[in-house]
């Protein structure tokens, strides 16, 4: 069985076809999925998905790309994470300078502050972090270090950085999660990085509705297709698919401190 460590099932793409998407997971042997929060107005929908479906989990947090949106306080994140047993992580949080455009480095301070708030809430609630980083890996690693994130760990989601960045994150106890991007023909460097990341530190994800893997590239992605990511990586690493599925699923439970007997 595979686990999709990162999806957005609350997004409008899924609203009318959730039963079908959940049935497809079962058919593809995808046992669980983590529904990741991106802002506070939508967070109740993410939580409800996890509460309504035993095999779905939720996180709480505000994505670095969401600028004009209510800011989450430390207290809100900690209280919410501790109040609901289906919330297993804080995030997605991190840094994204890709859309900075002409703006100055200083003008992105709000993002770094928001990131620090999430890390502090993660340590305080003992719920691991889901990290999003794009065009900002140096600052991401630096802030994780400054805030002592090795005390809690988590996952570097939809990983597209170099092996050195993966290594720095793994040294702090983080897992590295690969999405459908690794299956793209152009992703040769990422494939090399994926080969070097030990299976014991690896998670797999869809980031659906985005980033559908080959052979579904361009379509609306869904958690069932994490199986395609898993099959591709097993082939890349020369491993049986069953082993990749088993180890990455165990990694998911370890990463998010989930008791396997109750999951
Ligand atoms: Zn992300
Ligand atoms: Zn995401």
Rounded CA separation 90/57 (Å): 12
In whole angstroms, what is the distance from residue 191 CA to residue 238 CA? 13
The ligand placed nearest to the CA atom of residue 9 is 2
97 is a domain residue? yes
What would the pLDDT profile of 59-90 be if each residue is shown by its tens digit?
A: 999 999 999 999 999 999 999 999 999 999 99
Taking the CA of 37 as reference, the closest ligand is: 2
Percent of the chain with pLDDT over 70: 99
**What is the distance in A from the centroid of ligand 2 to the CA of 124?**
23
Domain CATH for 234: 3.20.20.140
- Residue 207 alpha carbon to ligand 2 centre in Å: 5
Q: Which domain holds residue 17?
A: 2-255
User: How does pLDDT run across 88-111, given as a tens digit for each residue?
Assistant: 999 999 999 998 888 999 999 999
Based on its alpha-carbon atoms, the radius of gyration of the chain, rounded to whole angstroms, reads 17
- What is the per-residue pLDDT for 261? 66
Q: Is 102 exposed, middle or buried (0-12, 13-18, 19+ CB in 10 A)?
A: exposed
Residue 262 has pLDDT above 70, yes or no: no
- Ligand sitting nearest the alpha carbon of 7: 2
Distance of CA 239 from the midpoint of ligand 2 (Å): 27
Helices marked H in 61-162: 74-83, 109-125, 137-146
- Count how many domains the chain has: 1
Residue 263 included in any domain: no
Mean model confidence pLDDT for the chain:
97
Ligand number with the minimum distance to the CA of 65: 1
What is the pLDDT averaged over residues 210-224?
95
Residue 40 has pLDDT above 80, yes or no: yes
Q: Could you say which ligand is closest to the alpha carbon of residue 221? A: 2
SS3 assignment, position 261: coil
Rounded to the nearest whole angstrom, what is the distance from the C-alpha of residue 129 to the centroid of ligand 1? Answer: 12
Q: Is residue 202 part of a domain?
A: yes
């Amino acid at each position: 069985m595979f686990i999709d460590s990162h999806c957005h099932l609350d997004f409008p793409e899924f609203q009318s076809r959730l039963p079908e998407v959940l049935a497809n997971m079962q058919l593809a042997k995808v046992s669980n999925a983590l529904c990741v929060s991106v802002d506070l107005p939508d967070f109740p929908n993410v939580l409800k998905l996890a509460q309504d479906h035993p095999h779905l989990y939720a996180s709480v947090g505000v994505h670095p790309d969401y600028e004009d949106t209510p800011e989450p306080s430390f207290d809100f994140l900690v209280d919410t994470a501790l109040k609901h047993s289906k919330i297993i992580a804080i995030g997605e949080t991190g840094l994204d300078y890709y859309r900075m455009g002409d703006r100055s480095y200083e003008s992105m301070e709000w993002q770094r502050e928001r990131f620090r708030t999430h890390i502090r809430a993660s340590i305080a609630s003992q719920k691991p972090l889901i990290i999003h980083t794009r065009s900002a890996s140096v600052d991401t690693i630096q802030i994780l270090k400054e805030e002592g994130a090795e005390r809690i760990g988590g996952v570097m989601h939809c990983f597209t950085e170099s092996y050195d960045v993966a290594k720095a994150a793994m040294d702090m106890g983080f897992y590295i999660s690969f999405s459908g991007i690794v299956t793209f023909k152009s992703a040769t460097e990422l494939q090399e990085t994926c080969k070097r990341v030990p299976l014991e530190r690896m998670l797999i994800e869809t980031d659906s509705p985005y980033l559908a893997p080959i052979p579904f590239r361009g379509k609306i992605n869904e958690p069932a297709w994490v199986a395609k990511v898993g099959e591709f990586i097993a082939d890349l690493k020369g491993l049986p698919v069953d082993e990749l599925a088993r180890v990455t699923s165990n990694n998911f439970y370890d990463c998010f401190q989930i008791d396997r007997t109750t999951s």
